[in-house]
Structures are given as structure tokens and as C-alpha cells.
Amino acid sequence: MNTSVVTPAEAQRPAPTPAKQAKPLPSVRALLIRLIFVCLLPPAIGAGIWLFNQSQAQRAGLEKDAIEVARAKVQTVDGELAKAGFFAQTLATSPLIPKRDFAGFQARALQLMQDGNIEFSVTLYDATGQQLINTSIPFGQPLYKRADLQQIQEVFATRQPSRQHLIFRPLDGRPVVATMVPVVVDKEVLYTLAVGFTTDRLNTILSQLDLDTGLVASIIDDNGTIVARTLDADKLIGQKSHPEILKSKVLENKLEGIVKTHSQDGVPLFVAYSSSPTSGWGVVVGNPRQTLESPLRHTLFVFALSVTLVLLLSLTLAWLVGERIARSVRSLQAAAVAFGNGQAPDLPAASLAETEELRQTLLTSASRLKRRTQQLEVAHANLLERSTELSEAQHIAHIGNWKWDAGTGVFFASDELQRLYGRKILLPFAELKDKVFADAAWQELKSAAQTTLQSKAGFALLLLSLAEDDSQIWTRVNGEAVCNAAGEIIGLRGTLQNVDAYVKGEMALLENAKRYRTLFDESPEAI
């Protein structure tokens, strides 16, 4: 019977390698050496707690004040941005634009800024970036075409005002804050209106701050670009602010907070920032770390006293670490017993390199055992499937298989073979006579079997067998020797096929041929 088995490549496939830990676990010796240093750790912790409590109150007050200052100025900055946005939205609704009365529109914009004492610049763009008016240039003079169309195209596409960013005016290179809004005519965006103001207005906001010596404040747009600064504004405007602030705003989604960083001059800072949820702009106030950390340095002498006071705590921690070693080893005992009983081990996480090695070994063995079990289950399922297929094929062909065990002398017949005979066949070879085969047929089968046992040569016989109703049917019996690994014959096996209809048909043909020959020979005239 043909069965499906696991291939050699699958059987020899190595077990999956356990995932490597990011941090190597310590050995027992390393942990014991570390235990000595642990005795000195609690005093340091005690001193650190004391120092932390002393400095935390002072630092918290300074940080709170800095955030409140930044928060207040963000509101002022938002007011300036909102003023520019409102002015742009108002101008975008002017009836002079649909009439293409650009001269009148420029004059109207200049008049509004003069009446409101507003120092803005107004520019009108078409879809190609060509300026149609620019209040910074007298009307009628040549106007340039904007090279960067991204922001203009965004306004045309979204039909929404753009985010307010810092840009450098192409005309004179001065930094300005620009607001772009769509100009909608008959439900179609025909132009983009830009309103900008110089960063001098924002520098004025920062100049109103009453900052202590050493503090630096700046205003950043929603891209994190420095727009105004209390120190070195001309040099640093247009550069990105502290990366730590950008990370906190973008990745951590914090509108305000405290970060550690360095100033543009390389001075270590504690930076407080506050951002507007509306515009995304923010105000940054930097405080040198020296100002906050100097009180902490003055209390370091307490460390020696703290070591003495917490020495007993050190001994306690040393005992706990020793217990940790023993607990790590004992944690694998139950898992090892379960594995020995053939059960899936429940392996807790190890805390030592040596116990982790043993744990990984047990996991690998369990994985291999599980995979081998799965392979056996697959092989068993394949075997059952092939057995079913063989039984169906035998049923169609009226053929069954048999086996004779030389040790027990029992003749075994397959299900299909027993169905052919209509009874169960599990008999010693000698009892097949007069039950399965007629006397002459059994003698012929016995002789062929003895020859095969001596020479290992197979046989093929056409024999008369006894059916369930003792009627005789023609069967074709094939057999061969079964040998063990040493080449010794341990039995016979073969097949038996019901060929009764075929043989009787052949015999009928022969009988008809014989009868026709007789008629021919006895005929008085030649045919």
C-alpha cells in the first residue's frame, strides 16, 4: 500500500532559531560582581531623591513662568495673523476684482491700510503666478511672475486660505509673513490674493517681554521656522528652530511643553514653548541650563551622608539580588518536568544568561517536537487518504491484496478481497483449503508459495476459488516474497483479482470456435 510520508528535506529541516534579545542577559558571575556595586547604589538613590526634590520646585516654577509667557505671546501673535487673514478675506470680496479694475482695487487696498494704520503689502496673482497688482509697487509698473507656484496652486485646488508661513520677498529679500486666500468669482477661483507683513511687527511683540538676563525668546511659524527673535534676529530668521521642539509638536502632538536643547550659539538650554492650536505658530522661551542646575550642584556634599544613612538598605538589596538568581533557576524546574512528560512547557521569562540558554533549548526542543507531531499527523492523514483511494481502485477493478506472515502463519486479506468472497478471511494458510480455494487450486497455490519461499521468485496463477455460496469463480493470484533488512524472507504478499467473467467469456469463445470447426469439417460441401 502506497502512503505519503514526510520528505527527508522536511525531516532534517532545522528548528526555527529563537529571536535574539536586544540586550544580552548577565551571567551568574557578572551578577554577583554587580551585587557588590548594588550595595553602593541605595545611598546614591537617596541623595538623588533629595537633590531632585530640592531642584524640582525651583525648576517647576521657572518652567511654569516661561510657559505662561510663551502662551500669552502666542495669543498676541495669533491676533496679528488673524488680522492679516481677515484683511485678506475682506479684500478678496471686493467687487472691483470681477470687473478687472485692478487699478481701482490697488487704490482701494492702499486707502484701507492708510485708514486703519495697517502696514500690509497686498499682491494679486492669477493661476500662472503672474502678479496683477502689488501695493509695494506703483500701479502700471512691470510686475514679476512668481516662480514657486506650490502655494498658489494649493489655494486654487482647495479653495481654502493657505497656512501662514514665513517667506522672503523676492523684491527686496525681506522676511515677510504671507497669507493667501482664494478670490472666487461666480463659484470659480480666478485669482489668489496674498497679504503680507514684515517680521518687524513680530519683533515688536518680543521686545515687550520683560526677560531676565540670559533668556532668549523667538517666534516660529507652523513649519518650525524662526520668524522673530530677541537676539541675533537678522542672522537666525528663516532658520529652523530646535529639532526637539519640532519633534515634540509633530510626533508627540504637544502644543506646549519643556524640552532640553542647545541655542543657536551652542548654549545648553531648557526651552519652554507654546503653540497655537489655530495657526500652528508658537513662541519659544529659552532658559540656560546653568540657571536651573546651579542650585543642584551646591548640594552634592549631602551625598556622603546619604551613603552612610542608607547602608542597611544596600544590604537588603544585595539579599534581594541573590534571591533573584535562585528564583531564576527554580523557574525552569516545572517546565522541564512538563517537557519530560510530553506536555507543552510553560516557560517564564529568564533573568540570567545561563537560564535563558536552557530556556531557549527547551523552547527549541518543544518546537521540534511540535513540528514532528504535525508531520506525523500529516503523514497519517495522507496514509488514510491513499488507503481510501486504493480501496476505491481495488473495488472498481475487483482486486484485493493479501499477506501471509511466516511467523504466525496467518493469511490476511484486505477489505476488498473479503468483499469478493463475502466473508472475513483471517486464517492460517492450511485452512484456506476448501474454504477459499478448491483442493486442486490450493495445492497449486501451496506449491507456488513454497517455490517463492525458497527462490524469492514471484508467481502468477489462474485458480478456481470458492465464493460465499461455494460456487467456483476464476481468480488471478499474484505473489512475491517479503524480506527484512537482512534479506531474510518473513512472509508473502500479493494480489487476487476476480477474472471469472473474463475467463468464462474466453472459454465460451473457444467452445464456439470448436463447434464451428466441427460443423465445417462435417459439412458435405466446401464452404
**Domain-ending residue, one of 258, 277, 297:** 297
SS3 call for 304: helix
CA angle 310, 314, 319 (to 5 degrees): 145
Q: What is the pLDDT of residue 183?
A: 92
Domain of residue 279, CATH code: 3.30.450.20
Please check the confidence at residue 1 and state whether its pLDDT lies above 50. Answer: no
504 domain-assigned: yes
At 163, list the grid cell: 497656512
**Domain-ending residue, one of 237, 267, 297:** 297
Average pLDDT on 43-72 reads 77
458 domain-assigned: yes
The model carries a pTM of 0.47
253 domain-assigned: yes
Q: pLDDT (tens digit, 9 = 90+) per residue, 508-523?
A: 888 888 877 877 777 6
More confident site: 368 or 460: 460
495 domain-assigned: yes
Residue 432 gets which letter from DSSP? G
Most confident by average pLDDT, 110-124, 226-240, 299-313, 511-525: 110-124
118 domain-assigned: no
Nearest to 61, CA basis, from 224, 212, 279: 212
**How many structural domains comprise the chain?**
2
At 416, list the grid cell: 476488498
Q: pLDDT (tens digit, 9 = 90+) per residue, 302-317?
A: 766 776 777 677 767 7
Segments of 334-432 assigned E as strands? 399-405, 410-413, 426-428
Rg (C-alpha) for the chain, rounded Å, is 50
Residue with cell 502700471: 140
Q: What is the pLDDT of residue 130?
A: 92
Range of the domain at 484: 398-510
The mean-pLDDT minimum among 18-22, 439-443, 500-504 falls in 18-22
Whole-angstrom Cα distance, residue 383 to residue 403?
A: 19
Whole-angstrom Cα distance, residue 276 to residue 197?
A: 19
404 domain-assigned: yes
393 domain-assigned: no
Please check the confidence at residue 278 and state whether its pLDDT lies above 60. Answer: yes
At 215, list the grid cell: 533668556
DSSP calls for 10-46: HHTPPPPPPPPPSSPPPPHHHHHHHHHHHTTHHHHHH
Residue with cell 475682506: 90
Q: Where are the alpha helices (DSSP H) in 424-526?
A: 439-455, 500-522
More confident site: 99 or 38: 99
- % helix / strand / coil in the chain, to the nearest 5? 50, 20, 30
Whole-angstrom Cα distance, residue 64 to residue 109?
A: 43
**Domain-ending residue, one of 262, 297, 332:** 297
Hey, how many other C-beta atoms are within 10 angstroms of the C-beta on 117? 6
20 domain-assigned: no
Q: What is the overall mean pLDDT for the chain?
A: 78
